[in-house]
Amino acid sequence: MRHRVLRVIVKVASVAVLLLLILWLRVFYGSMQDYKTGETLLKENQTIRAITYFDRSLHWYAPLNPYVERSAKRLWDIGERAEYEKDTRMALIAYESIRNGFYGASHVFRPGREWIRRAEKKILSVSSLQGSAEVHTSPKNPHPDVLWSAVVVLSFLGWVGSLAGFVRWVIGNDKQSGRRMLRTSLWICLAILFFGLWILGMALA
């Protein structure tokens, strides 16, 4: 019985890892495509459109995704070049894209803190030259709610655990059909509850 439970846990964990891998690959591919499009547009001197695609690439954030860092560097280069050419509007757009992109990728963890710090210094500097510092200051509350972010993580773990429990009682050899039905219903209800909390947490975080 103990070995059977262990096999079920391993199967559920394998499915969860596979789903996360698929999600990571989708994010990686989206970031890569947007980065390459941005590079093409930049070579064609379509700077505003290029910034848009580099910004999209930043929003496809995932750990170990190299295109996020490359997009941030490219936006930084655009901002510095615009500063050199005295184009404060273009510089602000580039630096704000870096800041807002990493803010948008924040969840329980906050990636790109150093990029945000550097971008905000540049935004204040360029804004002061333009005489519009109040307009371009950092958003009031750019980070997600910590409580709901914790709900996202815990409810996801609860959902996976409920699925593991459901699979365990479905394939178990419990001959008491009434008791088996009760336990199966309980695991299904828990899975639905945690899944609902997961969705709600992502919406409110």
Spatial separation of the C-alpha atoms in residues 23 and 18, rounded to whole Å: 9
Residue labelled with tokens 């954030």:
61
Spatial separation of the C-alpha atoms in residues 113 and 47, rounded to whole Å: 25
Q: Phi then psi for 104, rounded to 5 degrees?
A: -65, -25
At 137, which amino acid appears?
T
Both structure tokens of 174: 């419990």
When pLDDT is cut at 50, 70 and 90, the band that residue 153 belongs to is confident
More confident residue, 11 or 33: 33
Both structure tokens of 3: 């070995």
Both structure tokens of 197: 């909390």
When pLDDT is cut at 50, 70 and 90, the band that residue 170 belongs to is low
pLDDT tens-place string over residues 106-139: 665 678 889 999 999 999 989 887 664 444 444 4
pTM (2 d.p.):
0.63
pLDDT of residue 57: 92
pLDDT of residue 135: 45
Buried b (16+ CB within 10 A) or exposed e, 84-105: eeebbebbbbbbbbbbbbbbeb
pLDDT tens-place string over residues 55-100: 999 988 888 899 999 999 999 999 999 999 999 999 999 999 999 8
pLDDT of residue 31: 92
Spatial separation of the C-alpha atoms in residues 107 and 27, rounded to whole Å: 16
199 pLDDT more than 90: no
Compute the chain's Rg from CA coordinates: 23
**pLDDT (mean) for 8-33:** 82
Spatial separation of the C-alpha atoms in residues 181 and 188, rounded to whole Å: 11
Query: Average per-residue pLDDT in the chain?
Result: 80
Give percent of the chain with pLDDT exceeding 90.
37
